[in-house]
Amino acid sequence: MSLNVLDHPLAQHLVALLRDVETEPGAFRIAADKLTSLLVWEATRDLPMVEGTVQTPLEITPAFRLAKPIAAIPILRAGLGMLESVTTLFPDVRVGYIGLERNHSTAIASSYYRKLPRVDDCVSLCLDPMLATGGSASQAISLLKEVGATQIKMVCVVAAPEGVARLTADHPDVPIFSAALDRGLNDHKYILPGLGDFGDRLYGTF
């Protein structure tokens, strides 16, 4: 399976803050933003580059630039908490949205919104903080592929083995970047130990 767990002391410190039930929404948002920056940094480590030149104040020198555009596709609504980190790192990023709502009884997601930029010529980052069953992520990636995306990376905060297995089976070409691989899912399909409902904790909608 193509799972990349971020092995960095700051990342683990931020995961601890996100897990802590005492962390208030404001501090939760800050920690999520910082952690997403680290995850996106890692996920974009192998972006293709093109070599050219640039004129410095003193001389012309070789310089490297990104060869492809970047697209960020958060899965609504929790994925919105990861978007600002991407737009800060990549100001020219293309942004799209996929709205999927999970039925808490069946754990199956239904689509209610989709607005996507051109993705056939770029690297697409699918953003969803919790990779639980993997159903929503798999569905979102399928939607991206339907409109021509060929290079997709999944970026999440916490992953469950069940979600990793589902995504690896459905989309073996999509690498997964996460800050933690947790134990598994409970009877309600929530990640254990997890960090609760990411969207609720992000926006204070308990």
Q: Is 173 a catalytic residue?
A: no
Element (H, E) at 60: strand 60-66
Catalytic residue among 87, 106, 150, 205: 106
| Structure token digits, residue 133 | 């069953």
Q: Which of 29, 77, 114, 197 is catalytic?
A: 197
Active site residue 197: yes
- 102 belongs to the catalytic site: yes
**Alpha carbon separation from 40 to 95, 125, 147, 182, 206 (Å, rounded):** 15, 8, 23, 20, 28
Structure tokens at 38: 């680290």
- Cβ(176)–Cβ(164) below 8 Å: yes
Helix, strand or coil for residue 89? helix
What 3-state class would DSSP assign to 142? helix
Q: Which of 19, 29, 77, 102 is catalytic?
A: 102
Active site residues: 102, 106, 197, 200
